[in-house]
């Protein structure tokens, strides 16, 4: 900054007052929002935006700009007010807060160019900030990442997952700020204004912790300077604040969370706030700090175009687990495209993501057993241009279900992979068997859900997922399965493969992953008895090829059977049923319908009704022939 402290501090205090005013006015106009949560953070926001960060309000996507994540997303109005104050858009837009035609939503989303990830589900911002900070290392940039958190969300376990990973990674380019205003939604927060409790915890997690008065502008600036000088570890600034600061009748009082001011209350609050402005010279740098914002250095970088990905190289009939083919595929992708990164949660030798680590260790991020920060960090990396592949056992991804939901809202291109899906994993038992993961991911309207059955389809689908706009989920299997596709076979997101068909088919059987092979076994058994079926590999579970499924149903007498290594709700059966319902077809669904137990994979497939034997029985039933009838 070109201003000295004596001029800068009063100017920043006035910015903070304007941010409070704009936050209160916009929430009152909307009739909803969280004005008191904005007021407690106003001094912190003023200092970070107008004295600390380097960014270009007219080009918020600049890869070398400092990044800001508002983890306490309910304070969105003050984020919008700060960007308007910086000149990103007209102040008049602030009064459209929460209107259906405005991108200034109740909580921030990346519909706004200055928002990297959607926030508002508390405890997620710190995880995303870890990924954003890691991305600076990936592109060799000196940009810094700032994340503003609430004290209430510090009760979330994901915050401490992020704290662990940031410390282990030595992310000294990451600065957290906790707005300790001591009041949550329904009561006082866990540690209220005991700043020493916060400091002890952050220091125990390996962070440099600085305790300040969050309304003392000089102290805020000193803390930000200290964070910038810190090397080898991230910094957390713990700021004691007052909820509703600046508005006497709400200051530090419970019961004001998420409550907009009435017209009378607004008038009273504005009158109080107007009196808090510090007189400044009418003209000069202090009159408009937006002109003083430091711009990021322009760093020229060569644009390295992705190279062609090496094709699969398998032999028909070769037995390869799709989880292993996944590891091969991401390693090939990483070597072809510098944007590709991989994240692990201490299962790299089971998901085979260790193949990526061996080839490209600098772009492999170990999160240990912490799935929430793994997905959150992947979101942050994706928001800044990386193509991240976080992978773990599919059942453990459910621990990060809320992060997956927010990734979909953020529309960021994370490419998740879940291995060890279904009862086919065998003896490890139900705690390790993902049987609801397809439902979890299919529920997101913009997520591609892919389920390869062999090594060739696995490699091809991983490559397609990498460049699919938006999030994707790839379900891989533990058992080795035979390669059935030629290495040059092509696939599409939203496609399927018809593996067996004839003009005399009495039913269509739709499988995915391991059940494709059960369907093929059933085909052979039925063919031997004089009956043929159509067999479909539904490798794209979302989106699905609706036209092809309807055509298959029409060609086989309306007899559709799905078979899946998944619970009945939300998986392959529901995907097919949704696709054909408008055409008047119904689906007979073979799925796991009870809590399974340990056993051999073949035993479990049969016991839980998804083996070839059950497919044969289902076909004979829907085709109108008695089970066991001779032909």
Q: Which pLDDT score is estimated for 2?
A: 65
Q: Are residues 427 and 460 in the same domain?
A: yes
Half-sphere exposure of 51 (CA within 13 A, CB side): 27
Overall average pLDDT of the 35-50 stretch:
97
In whole angstroms, how far apart are CA 553 and each of 489, 587, 626? 25, 9, 21
290 found inside a domain: no
How many Cβ atoms are within 10 Å of 185's Cβ, its own excluded?
A: 12
DSSP code at position 479: S
Please state the φ and ψ torsions of residue 587, each to the nearest 5 degrees: -130, 135
Give the H/E segment covering residue 463: helix 455-466
Question: Hey, is 561 helix, strand or coil?
Answer: strand
In whole angstroms, how far apart are CA 339 and each of 301, 307, 385, 457? 14, 11, 7, 23
Q: Are residues 478 and 501 in the same domain?
A: no
Q: Are residues 528 and 474 in the same domain?
A: no
Q: Which pLDDT score is estimated for 283?
A: 59
- Of 482, 505, 538, the one marking the end of a domain is 482
Give the span between the Cα atoms of 392 and 214, in whole angstroms: 40
What value does the mean pLDDT of the chain take?
95
Cα dihedral 43, 47, 49, 55 in deg (nearest 10): -170
Do 629 and 565 contact (CB within 8 A), yes or no? no
Q: Which pLDDT score is estimated for 625?
A: 54
pLDDT digits (tens, 9 = 90+) for 317-342: 999 999 999 999 999 999 999 999 99
pLDDT of 474 strictly over 90: yes
Do 79 and 146 contact (CB within 8 A), yes or no? no
- The domain spanning residue 159 has which CATH number? 3.40.50.970
Catalytic position from the list 324, 371, 518, 564: 371
Overall average pLDDT of the 12-22 stretch:
97
Overall average pLDDT of the 599-622 stretch:
97
Q: Which pLDDT score is estimated for 75?
A: 97
Q: Provide the sign of the torsion angle of the four alpha carbons 429, 430, 432, 438, taken in this order.
A: positive
Q: Are residues 363 and 511 in the same domain?
A: no
The three-state DSSP-derived secondary structure of 6-57 is HHHHHHHHHHHHHHHHHHHHHHHHHCCCCHHHHHHHHHHHHHHHHHHCECCC
More confident residue, 225 or 298: 225
Domain that holds residue 591: 497-622
Nearest CA among 78, 77, 74, 67 for reference residue 43 = 78
Q: Which pLDDT score is estimated for 279?
A: 85
303 found inside a domain: no
How many Cβ atoms are within 10 Å of 14's Cβ, its own excluded?
A: 19
Pairing, β 415-419 against β 387-393: parallel
Q: Are residues 326 and 475 in the same domain?
A: yes
Name the region of 84 (left: φ>0; alpha: ψ -120 to 50; beta: rest): alpha
Q: Are residues 29 and 133 in the same domain?
A: yes
Q: Which pLDDT score is estimated for 284?
A: 64
Question: Hey, is 150 helix, strand or coil?
Answer: strand
29 is an active site residue? no
pTM of the model: 0.95
Overall average pLDDT of the 117-146 stretch:
97
Overall average pLDDT of the 581-590 stretch:
97
Q: Are residues 521 and 461 in the same domain?
A: no
Percent of the chain with pLDDT over 70: 97
Percent of the chain with pLDDT over 90: 92
Q: Are residues 142 and 92 in the same domain?
A: yes
Overall average pLDDT of the 293-302 stretch:
85
Pairing, β 415-419 against β 472-475: parallel
Give the span between the Cα atoms of 20 and 428, in whole angstroms: 56
Provide the CA 474 distance to its chain's centre, in angstroms. Answer: 15
Overall average pLDDT of the 560-585 stretch:
98
pLDDT of 77 strictly over 70: yes
Q: Are residues 203 and 274 in the same domain?
A: yes
201 found inside a domain: yes
In whole angstroms, how far apart are CA 127 and each of 113, 134, 373, 404? 20, 11, 5, 13
What confidence category does residue 297 fall into, taking pLDDT thresholds of 50, 70 and 90? confident
pLDDT of 630 strictly over 60: no
- Of 280, 308, 343, the one marking the end of a domain is 280
Give the span between the Cα atoms of 139 and 420, in whole angstroms: 33
Give the span between the Cα atoms of 138 and 543, in whole angstroms: 32
What confidence category does residue 3 fall into, taking pLDDT thresholds of 50, 70 and 90? confident
92 found inside a domain: yes
Q: Which pLDDT score is estimated for 191?
A: 87
273 found inside a domain: yes
217 found inside a domain: yes
What confidence category does residue 286 fall into, taking pLDDT thresholds of 50, 70 and 90? low
Q: Which pLDDT score is estimated for 509?
A: 98
Overall average pLDDT of the 542-557 stretch:
98
pLDDT of 628 strictly over 50: no
What confidence category does residue 282 fall into, taking pLDDT thresholds of 50, 70 and 90? low
Q: Are residues 472 and 537 in the same domain?
A: no
147 found inside a domain: yes
Overall average pLDDT of the 415-444 stretch:
96
Overall average pLDDT of the 56-84 stretch:
96
pLDDT digits (tens, 9 = 90+) for 169-196: 999 999 999 999 998 888 888 889 999 9
Q: Are residues 463 and 535 in the same domain?
A: no
Question: How many domains does the chain divide into?
Answer: 3
Q: Are residues 262 and 163 in the same domain?
A: yes
312 found inside a domain: no
Overall average pLDDT of the 517-532 stretch:
97
More confident residue, 287 or 250: 250
What confidence category does residue 462 fall into, taking pLDDT thresholds of 50, 70 and 90? very high
Nearest CA among 37, 34, 22, 32 for reference residue 98 = 32
What confidence category does residue 629 fall into, taking pLDDT thresholds of 50, 70 and 90? very low
């Amino acid at each position: 900054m070109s201003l000295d402290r004596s001029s800068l501090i009063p100017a920043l205090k006035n910015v903070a007052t304007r941010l409070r005013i704009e936050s209160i006015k916009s929430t009152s106009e909307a009739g909803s929002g969280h004005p008191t949560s904005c007021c407690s953070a106003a001094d912190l926001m003023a200092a970070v935006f107008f004295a600390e960060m380097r960014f270009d309000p007219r080009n918020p996507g600049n890869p070398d700009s400092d990044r800001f994540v508002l983890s306490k997303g309910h304070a969105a109005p003050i984020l919008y007010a700060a960007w308007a104050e910086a000149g990103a858009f007209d102040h008049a837009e602030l009064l459209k807060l929460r209107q259906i035609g405005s991108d200034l939503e109740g909580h921030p989303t990346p519909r706004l160019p200055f928002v990297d990830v959607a926030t508002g589900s508390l405890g997620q911002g710190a995880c995303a900030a870890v990924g954003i900070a890691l991305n600076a290392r990936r592109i060799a940039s000196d940009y810094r990442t700032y994340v503003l958190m609430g004290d209430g969300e510090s009760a979330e376990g994901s915050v401490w997952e992020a704290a662990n990973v940031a410390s282990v990674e030595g992310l000294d380019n990451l600065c957290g700020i906790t707005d300790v205003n001591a009041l949550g939604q329904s009561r006082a927060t866990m540690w209220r204004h005991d700043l020493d409790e916060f400091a002890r915890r952050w220091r125990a997690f390996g962070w440099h912790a600085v305790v300040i008065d969050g309304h003392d502008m000089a102290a805020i600036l000193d803390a930000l300077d200290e964070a910038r000088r810190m090397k080898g570890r991230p910094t957390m600034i713990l700021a004691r604040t007052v909820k509703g600061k600046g508005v006497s009748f709400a200051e530090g009082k419970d019961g004001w969370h998420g409550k907009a001011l009435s017209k009378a209350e607004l008038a009273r609050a504005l009158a109080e706030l107007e009196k808090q402005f510090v007189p400044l010279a009418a003209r000069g740098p202090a009159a408009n700090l937006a002109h003083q914002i430091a711009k990021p250095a322009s760093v020229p970088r060569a644009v390295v175009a992705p190279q062609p990905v090496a094709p699969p190289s398998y032999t028909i009939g070769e037995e390869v687990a799709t989880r292993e083919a996944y590891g091969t595929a991401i390693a090939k992708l990483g070597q072809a495209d510098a944007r590709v990164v991989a994240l692990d949660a201490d299962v790299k030798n089971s998901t085979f993501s260790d193949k990526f680590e061996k080839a490209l260790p600098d772009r492999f991020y170990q999160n240990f057993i912490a799935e929430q920060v793994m997905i959150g960090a992947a979101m942050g990396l994706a928001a800044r241009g990386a193509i991240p592949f976080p992978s773990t056992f599919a059942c453990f991804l459910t621990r990060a279900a809320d992060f997956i939901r927010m990734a979909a809202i953020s529309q960021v291109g994370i490419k998740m992979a879940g291995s060890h899906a279904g009862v086919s994993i065998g003896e490890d038992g139900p705690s390790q068997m993902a049987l609801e993961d397809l439902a979890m991911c299919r529920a997101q309207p913009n997520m591609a859900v892919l389920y390869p059955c062999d090594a060739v389809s696995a490699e091809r689908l991983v490559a397609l997922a990498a460049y699919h706009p938006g999030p994707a989920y790839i379900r891989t299997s533990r058992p080795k399965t035979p390669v059935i596709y030629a290495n040059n076979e092509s696939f599409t997101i939203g496609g399927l493969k018809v593996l067996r068909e004839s003009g005399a088919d009495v039913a269509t059987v739709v499988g995915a992953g391991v059940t494709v092979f059960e369907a093929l076994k059933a085909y052979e058994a039925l063919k031997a008895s004089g009956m043929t079926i159509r067999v479909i590999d539904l490798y794209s579970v979302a989106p699905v090829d609706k036209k092809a499924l309807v055509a298959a149903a029409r060609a086989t007498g309306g007899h559709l059977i799905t078979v899946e290594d998944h619970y009945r709700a939300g998986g392959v059966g529901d995907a097919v049923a949704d696709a054909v319902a408008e055409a008047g077809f119904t689906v007979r669904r073979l799925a796991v319908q009870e809590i399974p137990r340990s056993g051999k994979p073949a035993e479990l497939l049969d016991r839980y009704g998804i083996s070839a034997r059950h497919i044969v029985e289902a076909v004979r039933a829907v085709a109108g022939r008695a089970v066991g009838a001779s032909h």
